[in-house]
Structure 1
Amino acid sequence: MRSFEWVVLALLWVVVLLPAVPALTRGTLPPWWRGPARNPRLWGVGDLVLGLGATASMTARHWSSSGWALGGAVGLCGIGLMTWAGRPRPS
C-alpha cells in the first residue's frame, strides 16, 4: 500500500474508534450520536465491524481480486448491526 492509503486507513480508524470505544466500554455514545442508537453496545460492535470491513476492502485488494467484495460484505454487516441497534424496542 502507498503512504496515502495508510494515512486514509489511519484516519478511518480514528473516526471508527472515537465513538466505538465509549459505546463498548461504558454503554454511552458521544453527544453527537446519542439520538439514533437505542442499544449503544451493539452500535459500537457494528461500528467496529464496519471499520474492519473497510480495512479488509482496502488491504485485501492487493492480494486477491475479490478482496474488495469480502470487505464490502463485512462492512454491510456492520451497517446492519448499527441499523439494528438504532431501531426502537418493540412494545
Structure 2
Amino acid sequence: MQCAHWRRLPLNLAQDARERAPSGCIDRAVQCQLSTHDDDRHYGFLDDLAYGTALWLRWHGTDVGLAALSDCSTADLRPGGEGCCLFAGHSE
C-alpha cells in the first residue's frame, strides 16, 4: 500500500520547483510515493529533470525542501516487467 501522507508545497518552494521543472507545471500538493512506512520521512514526486533524475518534495516533520534525486535502477526482469518509479536508495 502507498503511504497516505500528503503535503502542500510552500509558496517559495512551489516557485523554485516551477523554475527548475522542464514542464513548468507543478502540483500544489503531493502524496508521498513510498510504500506505507513507520518513519516520518516522506517524498512526493514533482517532475522529471534531466535523464535519470527527478525533482522531489521531501518532508520530515516541519523540515520541507526540494531534492533532485537519481532514479532507482531496480527493474523487474520478468517479461513485461517494469522499472521502479522511485529514487535510488529509497526505503521499501
| Coarse TM-score class (shorter-chain normalised) | under 0.3
Return the structure number with greater relative CO, CA threshold 8 A, min gap 6.
1
* Larger fraction in strand: 2
**TM (normalized to structure 1)?**
0.25
Q: Choose 1 or 2 for highest CA Rg.
A: 1
* Larger fraction in helix: 1
**TM (normalized to structure 2)?**
0.25
